[in-house]
Amino acid sequence: MAQYGPLAQDTIGGIVERAGEKACLPFRVHAHMLRHGTGYYLANRGTDTRTIQSYLGHKNIQHTVVTLNLHLPSFRGFGMINVENPC
């Protein structure tokens, strides 16, 4: 069995972008959106900010607070995409 190293950042970015295109999303998808989308998801489910801080790897709690405050509005409606007929 072949041994593979970690995926390169560009490889992950390409995979995420192609997945967004295949899903016919009305916006371009970036790998970093997954990180912030997960933070938003956790916050929306009542996860405490310190846990989200740890998950996102922020050293300063203010980075987490700012990230969640700035990105909450941009993720509203994200789950409103019509999955029955995305194209």
Look at the block and give the residue holding tokens 């203010």.
62
Tell me the CA distances in angstroms from 78 to 33, 37, 55, 81, one per residue in order. Answer: 11, 9, 21, 6
Look at the block and give the residue holding tokens 């969640």.
68
Q: Which of 8-12, 17-21, 46-50, 81-85 bottoms out in mean pLDDT, i.e. has the lowest?
A: 81-85
Tell me the CA distances in angstroms from 83 to 19, 24, 71, 78, one per residue in order. Answer: 14, 10, 23, 11
| Residue 80 pLDDT grade (very low, low, confident, very high; cuts 50, 70, 90) | very low
Q: Are 29 and 61 in contact (CB under 8 A)?
A: no
| Residue 21 pLDDT grade (very low, low, confident, very high; cuts 50, 70, 90) | very high
Q: Which of 9-18, 38-47, 71-80 bottoms out in mean pLDDT, i.e. has the lowest?
A: 71-80
